[in-house]
Structure formats: structure tokens, C-alpha cells
Structure 1
Amino acid sequence: MSDSEIRRRPGGRAARVRKAVLDAAVESLVEGGTARFAIGDIARRAGVNETSVYRRWRTRENLLVDAMLAASDRHVPVPDTGSVREDLRAFAAVVADYLNDPLGSALARAAVVAVDDPEIAEARERFWHTRIDLAAVMIERGIARGEVRPGTDPRVALEALISPLHSRVLMTREPLGEELPRALADLVSDGLSPTRRPPAGTPAR
């Protein structure tokens, strides 16, 4: 069987190698953060050759983004309940659960800690932008259904929802109670309502 045929097989060797490498990358991030994130170490943990990792991801920055996205996709899915308020409630709750978990907390710290490597910094920025872009569909669906003011910036809305959660975990080290995610979701939903007039001089975007 050719390499291309292996790559096309769902659940084949390529899928197993990808999972092993991404699991090893997440393990590396949890243990040492981005500063110690190295393809050689990750290949060793995954039990694969470095050349296999480079062939698929090309750079450690690409691997960093893929590993963090894979972990967040697995643990922080984007809901589709048919209501923007319920979507935001569900999303905030799952983000809080993720940040309360040792894995989620460790990855969140790895995603914000200062580093001297500009390429790692750019990769982390790419990760955050990608996650926001994926979650923006909740706000876009709300606009289409008439639940959210037209012209609302999805990124601003989502940052208003999840930033307080990250702030408590990363800055004040406060626990995330069950009521906080729902309270934040309701606050953001009320602010986005087309029946609520935005403050004078506030740009939509």
C-alpha cells in the first residue's frame, strides 16, 4: 500500500501517528509550557521519528497550534442549541469546566505565558484567533435569527464572555463557580439584544 493510500485511510497508521504526536505535544505543554516545546522531545514521547513530525507539521509552531486546537476542540465544542443565549450559556459552562480541569488550566497558562520566541508568540496568537473564528458562528447565527444586533463584532462579544473566566483562573486564581458562566452569558446576551440601544458613540465594530 502506498503512503497516499495510508493517509487516506480513516483510522489508519497516519491517524494513529497524528493522535500520538498531538497527545505527546499536549503532554509536553502541560509539563513544560511553550518554552520547552521541542519536536525532538515530542517525537520521543510519541514513539515516532522526528522526520515524520517535520514532514506533517514542518515547524514546531504549526504543531503547537494543532495540538492546542485539537485539545480545545475535544474539550470545548461549539454548541448549536437554536438560541444564542443558550449557546453562550453552554459555551461558557464548558469553558469553565475546561479551565477547572488540570489539563485545561495548564494549557491556558501555556497559551498566555510570556516567551522570548516571536514565532511561538505568533503561533499562540494564531491559536486564539482560530478559536475565536470557530466560536464566532454562535454570534453570526444569532444575528441571522434576529437575536443579536446587526453589525455586532463576534470577537468582542466572545471576549466579553470568556475573558472573565480566564482572568479568574490565570490572574486571581479564584475557583470558577457554577453560577458565573451563566451570569456572564446572560449579561452578554442582554447586551447584544437588538432591543437594547448601545451607548452613544459606541462603534458596532
Structure 2
Amino acid sequence: MVSINAGPQPDPTARNTEVPTSELAASGEQRSTSKRPGGRSARVQEQVLTATLALLTEREIDTISVADIAARANVAETTVYRRWGSRTGVVSEAVMKMTAANNPPPRTGSLAEDLMTLAKQVAMLIGRPEVRRLLRAVYALSGDPEIDEARTAFYAARFAIARDIVEQAQQRNEIGTDIDSDDVIESLVAPMYFRVLVSGREVTEEFVERCVRDTLLLFAGK
């Protein structure tokens, strides 16, 4: 009889080291879902912006250097320069981020309510030490290219919200379509900025309400 050679036979005592495909897939899925979103870059950015705001609550902007910010954030100075380019760049972004986080655009469906919400947001914002320091620096160092850039970015963000409020009110026929949205926001917030930066008086709740009433009377006739 001719025997058929079937090749080497498996050793019944050998340990099976293969991992089932289903286990490999599950392991890979677990690794991918456990990975933190954003990564180191996002964490470093958050550290730097948080450190910048903390320093602004303690000192005037012209006494803060990139080295100070880097030391407080526990990062290299080159990291700050590579991402923001200058002290003013990181200060501007820190304040912009804080502004956006704490001041969502009002969407009440009423011009009067939207203006009241916006006015209260502005009053709270310019009452913060870090924002006051930035605003004082903006006016004291006017003409400095970096400071002028920070001022432009700050007001551009605030006016963008105001334009949306006015445009929605115009669509609801609450205010004339020929009215400039920038004029509306200037009328609303200019008295508050004057109190903070010039007269040094507090922006009270009664004062905020008066600013809203005056703006509505001027542009909406009510």
C-alpha cells in the first residue's frame, strides 16, 4: 500500500498564539477611540491662551513679554512665536476666544431684546480686568502697528455680531433697511466704553438699560 505524505502534522502540545481576527479588530477600535482629540498642539494652544489671560489680569499689556507668556504656559518661546508671531498676536487671540466663548450672538427674535442682551454682554466683557488692560493699551499705544492690529481684530468681532442683529431686525421690519448696522452698535456701546476708559465710572444695570432705550428711540422710533 502506498502511503500519502500529508506534510508535517501539528503538535498537539503546542500553544496556539494566533489572535482571532475579531479580537484584533476590537483591539484596534479600542486604541483608536482612546486617542485624545486635538493632540498636543491643541493642548499647547490652550495652555498659552490661558496663561495669557491670567497674566492680563495681573499686569498691563506693555509689561508682559512673550518670555513671560511662555514661562507661565510652560512652553518654549519659539512655540509662541511660531504660532502667533508676536505678543500682540497671542493677546488678541486670547481675548477673542474669551469673547466668543462668553458672548454667543443673541437670537431672541426681538430687536429690543437682542440689543439688551448684547449690551449686557458688552458691559460684562469690558468689566473684566484683562479686557480693560487690553483696551487701555489699545488707546495708550495707538499708532503701534501691533496694537492697531489688536484693536481692529477686537472691534471687527464685536461689530460682526451687531450687523447680524440689525439685519435680522430689518428682515422683521423692526428697523429701516437704510440704517447702517455699525451706527446702531456705536450708539449702543460707545457710552459704556466712554465710562470705562475715560470717566472711570461703573457701567451699572440702569446705565445699560438707558443705552438700549436711547438706541431704540434713535433708530427704531420707540
Query: Which of the five TM-score ranges fits, normalised by the shorter chain?
Result: 0.7 to 0.9
Change (3 A) 1:102 1:90: same
Gap runs ≥5 in structure 1: 1-8, 197-205
Give the C-alpha shift of residue 103 in structure 1.
Answer: 4.0
CA contact (8 A) 2:137 2:147 kept: no
Q: Deviations over 1:89-135 (max 9, x none)?
A: 01111222233344443343334333563222233223222321233
- Aligned pairs for 1:1-205 (under 5 A) are 10-115=37-142, 117-193=144-220, 196=221
- Number of residue pairs aligned between Structure 1 and Structure 2: 187
TM-score (norm 1): 0.79
4+ residue runs of structure 1 moved beyond 4 angstroms? none
If asked which structure has higher relative contact order (CA below 8 Å, sep 6+), I would say 1
Q: Structure 2 stretches of 5 or more lacking a match?
A: 1-35
> Structure 2 length normalisation: TM-score?
0.73
Q: 1:166 to 1:138 in 2, by over 3 A?
A: same
- Tell me, yes or no, if the aligned pair for 1:43 and 1:50 is still in contact at 8 Å: yes
Cα deviation, 1:44-63, whole Å, max 9, x if unaligned, reads 11111122222222333322
SS at structure 1 position matched to 2:62: coil
Residue in structure 2 matched with residue 203 of structure 1 by the alignment: none
Q: State the Cα deviation string for residues 135-183 of structure 1 (Å, max 9, x = none).
A: 3211111112211211321112111111101111111111222111122
Aligned-pair identity in percent equals 35
Distance in 2, matches of 1:143 and 1:118, equals 36
Between structure 1 and structure 2, the one with the greater Rg is 2
Is the alpha carbon distance of 1:65 and 1:105 closer, same or farther for their aligned partners in structure 2, counting shifts above 3 Å? closer
